[in-house]
């Protein structure tokens, strides 16, 4: 039996999964690693812990009999995107912790560039706003803070990259320093038109080009394993994409206008815009979705993301202790018919699209003597859905037309109450696939295409299957009043800093 191995390196853990050549997901394992918070608003990861979690996952899928090492036809990688790190070229060892995409430590630097009037140039070239979310200002910070890093960069001793490039480097024994075009498009350093590092942007952020990986397509023969414990040498790494782009690919969103929402640590909505790079007037981002080997022009997408989605549930679990496991929130929230006027805006790391307010702070309002933990749980699920309504309405303004149904995926997509709330507040039918781990599926699909397991995207479209549909059941009036209350709460979050 031949199989595809996927490494889904996420914000809170690493999933390793196995798919057969018929597109059936055979199983997966997940290993969490520590989140590091040195200061308020700062978020870091230990890259060695990330690599260890990937190796542990690879060993586990073999130990559980999902496939044998000799069965692995190819490997696909998908990853948390904007997280940035530096490492030694010779050893592959990181210079220090990675700065996570959620981290806000470079907010003042980005604000300084904005005050100089540089944001229009950055947006025109990259499709991104000036925000500490993206990698460029993180690379700059790392080079300035790690002692001797800039000198070592000039000597060619160190490399920089996002998590995909770090994993590719380690999987190939240091032979390949590359990043796929979807991840490169999230750094604020790649020009969306040339698909190459932009000299002016490199100068603006003071990042030497020699540090950065080669930009490559998302599918093909991208590297071969070497010296990886538990894996044979020579296995092709044949697919790479950032997690949100991978999820759109895994949802078979191959046609222009196809859209998906992934409920993960954050929530992210992507819509395929084909070979047209769209400019957003509503606070959304233009990004590269993927590039297949035969494509001279990549597929582009519009994107909007809320920084805190499933992470809000983790906060209830880990910091407040009102639930023991994340799935418990559905049962708790179902104990009340509504949130009883309680609003929770989970701006715990600022607000993302379409607001882009890094200084916004989380707000819980509308509390009364009768409010309890069930109301807060319900308000959390409602906030997760309402944030997405903000993004989708902005997307509709850019498109100039009403969107159709929305496909959903990610761990929280298994929450039926949340999916019904999303359908009600959005006023659209929500479609959940049989395989909600579509980020993993996308990595497998890209890798399978890269080695010829599937001929083209038409063959892949036949693999995707719907599981459940959630029609909207809320009337126009109640929906309008609910959204008005939410916007008032968001305004309070913006003034809470």
pLDDT score at 257: 83
| Percent of the chain whose predicted confidence (pLDDT) is above 70 | 100
Q: What is the mean pLDDT of residues 338-365?
A: 90
Please, which pLDDT band fits residue 203 given cuts at 50, 70 and 90? very high
Contact criterion met (CB below 8 Å) for 306 and 347: no
pLDDT score at 59: 96
Distance CA 472, CA 420 (A): 7
pLDDT score at 497: 62
Which residues have CB under 8 Å from 228's CB, separation 6+?
Answer: 55, 58, 170, 171, 173
Between 280 and 43, whose confidence is greater?
Answer: 43
Q: What is the mean pLDDT of residues 44-70?
A: 96
Between 174 and 393, whose confidence is greater?
Answer: 174
pLDDT in tens, 237-256: 999 999 999 999 999 999 88
Distance CA 346, CA 360 (A): 10
Tokens of 406: 């929305």
Q: Compute the mean pLDDT over every residue in the chain, rounded to the nearest whole number.
A: 93
Phi first, then psi: give them for residue 374, nearest 5 degrees: -65, -35
End-to-end CA distance of the chain: 56
Domains of the chain: 3-244 (3.30.420.40)
Which residues have CB under 8 Å from 79's CB, separation 6+?
Answer: 8, 9, 10, 162, 163, 164, 167, 183, 242, 243
Sheet holding 84-88, edge to edge: 44-45, 98-99, 84-88, 158-162
Look at the chain and count its residues.
Answer: 497
Whether 48 shows a pLDDT value over 80: the answer reads yes
Contact criterion met (CB below 8 Å) for 235 and 184: no
Tokens of 139: 């690379």
pLDDT in tens, 357-366: 888 999 999 9
Whether 126 shows a pLDDT value over 90: the answer reads yes
Q: What is the mean pLDDT of residues 2-14?
A: 95
Distance CA 130, CA 444 (A): 32
Per-residue H/E/C for 355-389 = CCECCCCCEEECCCCCCCHHHHHHHHHHHHHHHHH
Long-range contacts of 60-65 (CB under 8 A, 24+ apart): 60/16, 60/29, 60/31, 61/5, 61/16, 61/17, 61/18, 61/27, 61/28, 61/29, 62/230, 64/27, 64/29
Contact criterion met (CB below 8 Å) for 95 and 146: yes
Q: What is the mean pLDDT of residues 456-464?
A: 91
Q: Give the predicted TM-score (pTM) of the model.
A: 0.87
Q: What is the mean pLDDT of residues 392-401?
A: 84
């Amino acid at each position: 039996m031949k199989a595809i191995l996927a490494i889904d390196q996420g914000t809170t853990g690493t999933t390793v999964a196995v798919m057969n050549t018929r597109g059936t997901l055979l199983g997966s394992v997940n290993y969490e690693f520590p989140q590091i918070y040195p200061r308020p608003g700062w978020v870091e990861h230990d890259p060695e812990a990330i690599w260890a979690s990937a190796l542990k996952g690879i060993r586990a899928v073999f130990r559980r009999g999902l496939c044998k090492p000799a069965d692995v036809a190819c490997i696909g990688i998908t990853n948390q995107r904007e997280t940035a790190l530096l490492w030694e070229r010779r050893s592959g060892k990181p210079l220090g912790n990675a700065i996570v995409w959620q981290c806000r430590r470079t907010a003042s630097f980005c604000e300084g560039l904005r005050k100089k009037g540089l944001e229009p140039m950055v947006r025109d070239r990259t499709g991104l706003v000036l925000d500490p979310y993206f990698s460029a200002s993180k690379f700059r910070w790392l080079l300035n803070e790690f002692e001797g890093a800039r000198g070592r960069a000039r000597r060619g001793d160190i490399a920089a990259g996002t998590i995909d490039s770090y994993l590719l480097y380690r999987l190939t024994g240091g032979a390949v320093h590359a990043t796929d075009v979807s991840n490169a498009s999230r750094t604020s350093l790649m020009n969306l038109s040339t698909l190459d590092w932009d000299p002016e942007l490199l100068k603006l952020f003071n990042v030497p080009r020699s540090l950065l990986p080669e930009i490559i397509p998302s599918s093909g023969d991208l590297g071969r394993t070497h010296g990886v414990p538990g894996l044979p040498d020579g296995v092709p790494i044949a697919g790479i994409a950032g997690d949100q782009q991978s999820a759109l690919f895994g949802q078979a969103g191959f046609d222009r206008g196809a859209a998906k929402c992934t409920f993960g640590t954050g929530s992210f909505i992507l819509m395929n815009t084909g070979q047209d790079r769209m400019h957003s007037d509503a606070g959304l981002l233009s990004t590269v979705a993927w590039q297949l080997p035969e494509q001279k022009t990549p597929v582009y997408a519009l994107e909007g993301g809320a920084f805190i989605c499933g992470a809000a549930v983790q906060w209830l679990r880990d910091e407040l202790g009102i639930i023991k496991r994340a799935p418990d929130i559905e049962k708790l929230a179902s104990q009340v018919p509504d949130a009883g006027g309680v609003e929770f805006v989970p701006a715990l790391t600022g607000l993302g699209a379409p607001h882009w307010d890094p200084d916004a702070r989380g707000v819980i309002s509308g509390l009364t003597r009768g409010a309890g933990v069930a109301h807060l749980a319900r308000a959390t699920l409602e906030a997760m859905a309402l944030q997405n309504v903000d993004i989708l309405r902005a997307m509709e303004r850019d498109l100039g037309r009403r969107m159709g149904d929305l496909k959903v995926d990610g761990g929280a997509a298994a929450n039926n109450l949340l999916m019904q709330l999303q359908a009600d507040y959005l006023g659209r039918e929500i479609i959940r696939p049989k395989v909600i781990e579509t980020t993993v599926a996308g990595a497998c699909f890209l890798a399978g295409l890269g080695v010829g397991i599937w001929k083209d995207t038409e063959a892949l479209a036949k693999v995707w299957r719907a599981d459940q549909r959630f029609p909207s059941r809320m009337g126009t009036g109640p929906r309008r009043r609910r959204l008005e209350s939410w916007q008032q709460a968001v305004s309070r979050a913006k003034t809470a800093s």
